[in-house]
Structure 1
Amino acid sequence: MDQNAAPNPLLSTAPLPDFAAIEPAHIQPAITALLAQAQEALDKVTASDAPADYETLSRVLNVATERLGTAWGAVGHLNAVANTPALREAYNAMLPTVTEFYTGLGANEALYAKYKAIAAQEGLSPERRQLLKHAIRDFVLSGAELQGEAKTRFAKIQERSAELGQSFSEHVMDATDSWSYFASADELKGVPADVVANARAAAQAEQQDGHKLTLHFPVYMPVIQYAEDRALRERLYRAYVTRASELGDKPEWDNSALMSELLTLRQEEAALLGFHNFAEASLVPKMATSPAQVLDFLRDLARRARPYAQRDLDELRDFGRAALRMDDLQAWDLPYVSEKLKEARYAFSDQEVRQYLTLPRVLDGLFRIVDRLFGVQLVPVAASVWHDSVQFCELRRDGQLIGQVYLDLFARNGKRPGAWMDEVRSRWARPDLPVPGAEQIPVAHLVCNFPQGADGKPALLTHDDVITLFHECGHGLHHLLTRVAELGVSGISGVEWDAVELPSQFMENFCWEWEVIQQLSSHVDTGAPLPRDLFDKMLAAKNFQAGLQTLRQIEFALFDMRLHAEPGAEARIQDLLAEVRAEVSVNPPPAFNRFQHSFSHIFAGGYAAGYYSYKWAEVLSADCWSAFEEEGVFNPSTGRRYLDEILSMGSVRDAMDNFKAFRGREPQIDALLRHQGMA
């Protein structure tokens, strides 16, 4: 080894990854070394003479797997937000080996036996008892009780599924990044000025005439929503909804066969574990108890929403005919006509609101709200990051550091679409820290895909963008404000998947409060706050087309659940989606729509047989918010109770027990229907 070579940043024991220093060449040697250390630790704690003692197990095995997880997590994060051919190759080269290790860890019979022996001991704390209960359940779901060929096959399924999920994600990213169209100024009539300016700059950067349009959401959505040129809207719509499908640009990015194989493997995995289908297996660690319960919940909600959705659609068609002379509305017309109807009915546009929502002002307002609600301050500080637009903040309470967060908010090539929160590290009373009783503080990523500012001005957000930011912040607070220091039940770890959206959806409600909007708004040119009459119009329009939006989410959730609950679904994905649309949609999209081919949530993002959790958790979050409506939005005692009973509890209690401790009763659907104007 070169004595002058810089140390491998992935092998550092520093509290934070040195993201700026990580190169593709570091990945294979570092992850190989960390895998070897983790395997050695596993062998040590599972030896026949090793004590069934959780402290020993944690000090040896958890420390080693945490180091591996932090390094591999940093690599996976860079693969999602700063993707390059070299990084992708290095990541994919190690993915099978890492998957094999974790599959073996989860299915290790000797380790499973140690956990069962520890769980049978007296005097365990509630935190430890719960984490052991979760761990034993997860061992079973990871194949620890399988034998012989079944166990071998189970491991192969995990490895192949990981590869397929990664390929799915890559195909969506590549199909999104590769498409472009150079539009004339005439074609862009009606499109917001900053979007046009950015498109012109993107074309000039490639020495091209015209304006470069892409399928990245900050470009796609304003064009489909505002462009008067119907042919341009159709061009973008067709490209967007056929990404990574057999109708897309490149056959090698078609996700069709990959989806079928992934679904087949999931059903086989479930059968090996003794379940009738993958949906049953998926629900074991969730609040919902059976696929039938979820399907009933979704269909009941669809029944309630359908009349409102039909009314929404009828209004759109009537307005299109009367005001825009458009008799036959197509899918690429709906966002455009919706925006025109909203402008006509409520006398404002999303574009008008954007001028008041600059990203710096919104972030500052968000930080102040978090401080007021939970008594914690977000303070920007310097750190090693992967892109110069990334911000890093410390979370402090009474001057004490309690967490840290990376904010990566702008869209760019090589970055996965969408918005998400991810863990870097969890809160943990780590046994190898030099100071006894010291704790590893939690660290999170908050990722969005907002547009960059144009012409030297700050980035402008739509109100929907602000809601997205608050949503992801809710996830972040759930992870960062935990008071639990036991790995596996701290933060969001172990929280039921269909309850994990509660804190994120809860935070969205603040975006509809006048007192909050005053703190978030400042006109990009004048600095003036958003006028009250404009806010009142926004509020009046809050549930504009809520029926259509609700049915759309139910369509996705029903499709996901049926896909994973019905035998043979892998051979009829498009037909099944058509059946779901026929059942719940009042306006099914065109036959060429291939939404499922970029449905990363369920094919590459952990939401398989779990997409329903968005609507399920909405019932919980709306009911929680109604307590703030009753007691005062900034009532300190209500905020403290919410922090104590829900945000800070991790998964030490079941989510339903957390909810009942906060609300004093079982959840009710009334608040959700009322909030969405469907009561």
Structure 2
Amino acid sequence: MSLRPNPLASFGRDLIDYASITPEDIKEAVAAYLVQAREAVTAAADPSVAATWATIVEPLDRACGPLWRAWSIAGHLNAVVNTPALRDAYNAMLAPVTEYSTWVGLHEGLYHQYQRMKTSSGFASLSAARQRVIELALRNFKLSGVELKGDARQRYAENSEKQSQVSQKFSENVLDAKDKWSLLLTEASRLEGVPQDVLDSLYDEEKQAWVVTLKMPCYLPVMQYAKDRDLRHTLYKAYATVASEFGEAAWDNSALIEESLHLRAAEAELLGFKHFAELRLQTRMAKNDDEVIKFLRELAARAKPFAERDLAELRAYAAKELALTDLQPWDVPFASEHLRETRYAYSEDEVKQYFTEPRVLSGLFEVVENLFEVKLHPIEFSPWHEDARAVEVLNKQGVKVGYLLLDLYARTGKQGGAWVDSERARHKLSDHIELPIINLTCNFAKPQGDRPALWTHDDVITLFHESGHALHALLSEVDEPGASAFAAVEWDAIELPSQFMENFCWEWSVLEQLTAHIETGEPLPRALFDKMTAARNFQSGMQAVRQIEFSLFDMLMHNKPTGLPIKAVLELLEAVRAEVAVLRPPPWHRFPHSFSHLFAGGYGAGYYSYKWAEVLSADAYAAFEEAALASKHSVPTTTLDAVTGARFKKEILAVGGLRSASESFRAFRGRDATIDALLRHSGMTEEVASLP
């Protein structure tokens, strides 16, 4: 037996030894923490125990905090360094963790203790954060089925466990289907047009061939630049049919989609709601599904004329200049990139040469420092993979306020996409403050040899987006985890800080800081920046209706009283496309089968949040534009206004979920949000519509 200590067995105040964690460590630590947490819940639920913060919540936090930290670490590792052994360990503990979580949500004794705290004379003397935690806990107890009786309680518990298993399997199928697909090309002519740095990254010396995969640093540039139309079609079809009946049967998500929708509808019915959407919207800014659908359809009505014009221009260009008289979906990225180059006299590849990884990261850190008066300082740590790195966040007094862990490159065994998750939220204890530990994960291109990685401008926007999520947790001043941003902010407002940060990727003063040419080290030329800004809203109409399509499909799929068979799911998607889309994919397209946001990422009945929060974020950024216009400079040079940044930090980031998102927005802006800034930023205004 090994005497090596389990890195998950006890947590200090700082980062742990991630590199040494084994699958057995996860099973051992999580199992032990489950016993500890159950004992604490049982003790707190004893009606003979006084119902106070010190006797109920604090002991629960001490006992349950390590469980959720260990489980968060396990989930993160399962997503970024997935191996068969790690997957088995995670799945082995998924059922008991889910069962425990459901048990707590259904625990009448603990629920009654929280009720006693709420109605006690001492409640009014608690801090705003503690009052908020108790109120949210009572709401969540009700939404977790605590008032169910008899058979309904049992069915709810079984449903919860099954949902977690279905979600995990859906995610695994998407990962496996993407990881296992590849295409070997031995003829360089098949990749004619693809940028050299991409070709270098694809070439396998041992196989003496280029290995094309579905990882985004490969997929996107091949679709944009490869002249070989058959290759684009092959790659498009592989990506469009991931985890569907067109691939390996073991990875087909069709049945899992059906089961997920059935389980969600059954959960809603058990809790007394008309459908899953109504259940989900109990914790959102939007009041009901009708409000969301109306919002999306009104936005579609604004965007669709611009989308139709975008597509007409693209078809005309493709027919005339590229001999693509029958423009197909696999031609759209290729034709769009050529049209962009023709119209604005630059290419994404040209721009990419200026976005070297070291300069982008240092530029991002400078923006954060200028806006919010914090320092981000790289530190050494023991990472789960050599790609990962750590940063400590210091306030203007030099006091550490949190840790940011970055894992930015695509690789086999890592879930695609970009996301932020929390290992630990800020928590003020009697003798110290537990600092937030936040993971920021992306799937960008890796460095090649001695050359730094080159990222597209879209990659940079993604990085800024995810940094906004991270800052929401890192700059929190909320003392209680239960009122933190990720625990308590309404889901349709959680994208506000992330989408807000994207705007700075279009500021000249910011891009000067973010760029250094791979060969010369020179920053982005102003002339090239002007071309980029001229093209900023290139095909913005098409992009908008695409997001509306996903959002409307999601809401209409989840506002049914029962689940749907996969055939009806696909028919619904087609009906939504007929209503709002301008570009229709082929009938074999299986987008839902890899839509992890909906079926494995918590966005079910909530994908509209991106568009909803975009209204908030655009209006919030408009405050910085207004501050720039009001500055002493006759020509505003930057929106990096520290005064407005301090107000945004105070009223949005620092308060987390201490109050409703609408209250926080009004505190920052002095009024409710309007759609005007979003339409202006997207180029969808009457002035633009009137242009020839």
TM-score, normalisation: structure 2: 0.95
Contact 2:266 / 2:562 at 8 angstroms: preserved in 1?
no
**2:178 partner amino acid:** T
Deviations 1:10-48 (A, max 9, x none): 112223232111001212221111100001111111112
567-576 or 70-79, which deviates more: 567-576
Asked if 1:601 corresponds to 2:597, the answer is yes
Match of 2:666 in 1: 660
Alpha-carbon distance in 2 for matches of 1:155, 1:18 = 35
CA drift of 1:569 comes to 5.0
Asked if 1:517 corresponds to 2:520, the answer is no
Match of 2:202 in 1: 199
Counting only pairs closer than 5 Å after superposition, residues 36-435 of structure 1 correspond to structure 2 as: 36-121=35-120, 122-183=124-185, 184-200=187-203, 203-204=204-205, 207-248=206-247, 250-397=248-395, 398-431=397-430, 435=431
**1:570 partner amino acid:** L
Alpha-carbon distance in 1 for matches of 2:524, 2:188 = 30
Match of 1:540 in 2: 534
- Equivalent residue for 1:615, pick from 599, 607, 611: 611
Alpha-carbon distance in 1 for matches of 2:450, 2:238 = 31
Alpha-carbon distance in 2 for matches of 1:389, 1:676 = 35
**1:584 partner amino acid:** V
Alpha-carbon distance in 1 for matches of 2:423, 2:125 = 32
Match of 1:628 in 2: 624
596-605 or 637-646, which deviates more: 637-646
Q: What secondary structure does 1:11 align onto?
A: coil
Contact 1:194 / 1:453 at 8 angstroms: preserved in 2?
no
Q: What secondary structure does 1:605 align onto?
A: coil
Alpha-carbon distance in 1 for matches of 2:623, 2:58 = 42
Contact 1:480 / 1:491 at 8 angstroms: preserved in 2?
no
Count of residue pairs brought into register by the alignment: 667
Contact 1:108 / 1:144 at 8 angstroms: preserved in 2?
yes
Match of 2:500 in 1: 506
Alpha-carbon distance in 1 for matches of 2:563, 2:532 = 42
Deviations 1:110-152 (A, max 9, x none): 1111111101123232212212111111100111111111011
Deviations 1:201-232 (A, max 9, x none): xx22xx31320010001100000010000000
Asked if 1:453 corresponds to 2:452, the answer is no
Asked if 1:552 corresponds to 2:546, the answer is yes
Contact 2:47 / 2:113 at 8 angstroms: preserved in 1?
no
CA drift of 1:653 comes to 1.2
TM-score, normalisation: structure 1: 0.97
Match of 1:482 in 2: 476
Deviations 1:635-674 (A, max 9, x none): 2221111111111111111100000111111110010000
Alpha-carbon distance in 2 for matches of 1:240, 1:530 = 33
Match of 1:670 in 2: 676
Counting only pairs closer than 5 Å after superposition, residues 428-443 of structure 1 correspond to structure 2 as: 428-431=427-430, 435=431, 438-443=432-437
Q: What secondary structure does 2:618 align onto?
A: helix
**1:12 partner amino acid:** S
Root-mean-square deviation (Å): 1.0
Q: What secondary structure does 1:543 align onto?
A: coil
Contact 2:265 / 2:560 at 8 angstroms: preserved in 1?
no
**1:119 partner amino acid:** K
Contact 2:273 / 2:279 at 8 angstroms: preserved in 1?
yes
CA drift of 1:487 comes to 1.9
CA drift of 1:587 comes to 1.3
Contact 1:342 / 1:541 at 8 angstroms: preserved in 2?
yes
Counting only pairs closer than 5 Å after superposition, residues 637-656 of structure 1 correspond to structure 2 as: 637-656=643-662
Alpha-carbon distance in 2 for matches of 1:635, 1:587 = 40
Q: What secondary structure does 1:488 align onto?
A: helix
Where does structure 1 lack aligned partners over 5 or more consecutive residues? none
Alpha-carbon distance in 2 for matches of 1:17, 1:570 = 44
Where does structure 2 lack aligned partners over 5 or more consecutive residues? 629-638, 686-692
Contact 1:358 / 1:460 at 8 angstroms: preserved in 2?
yes
Q: What secondary structure does 1:357 align onto?
A: coil
Contact 1:197 / 1:455 at 8 angstroms: preserved in 2?
no
Q: What secondary structure does 1:454 align onto?
A: coil
- Equivalent residue for 1:582, pick from 551, 555, 578: 578
CA drift of 1:239 comes to 0.3
CA drift of 1:568 comes to 4.4
Q: What secondary structure does 1:284 align onto?
A: helix
Contact 2:177 / 2:251 at 8 angstroms: preserved in 1?
yes
Contact 1:17 / 1:74 at 8 angstroms: preserved in 2?
no
Q: What secondary structure does 1:649 align onto?
A: coil
Alpha-carbon distance in 2 for matches of 1:114, 1:569 = 36
50-59 or 466-475, which deviates more: 50-59
**1:277 partner amino acid:** H
Relative to 1, partners in 2 of residues 1:592 and 1:542: Cα closer, same or farther, differing over 3 Å? same
Contact 2:265 / 2:562 at 8 angstroms: preserved in 1?
no
Alpha-carbon distance in 1 for matches of 2:208, 2:361 = 36
Contact 1:428 / 1:490 at 8 angstroms: preserved in 2?
no
**1:384 partner amino acid:** S
**2:649 partner amino acid:** L
Alpha-carbon distance in 2 for matches of 1:139, 1:97 = 19
Asked if 1:566 corresponds to 2:572, the answer is no
Q: Flag as ranges the 4+ runs of structure 1 deviating above 3 A.
A: none
Alpha-carbon distance in 2 for matches of 1:599, 1:636 = 39
Q: What secondary structure does 2:280 align onto?
A: helix
Contact 2:225 / 2:334 at 8 angstroms: preserved in 1?
yes
Match of 1:528 in 2: 522
Q: What secondary structure does 1:646 align onto?
A: helix
Percent identical: 51
**1:29 partner amino acid:** E
Contact 2:263 / 2:563 at 8 angstroms: preserved in 1?
no
Q: What secondary structure does 1:332 align onto?
A: helix
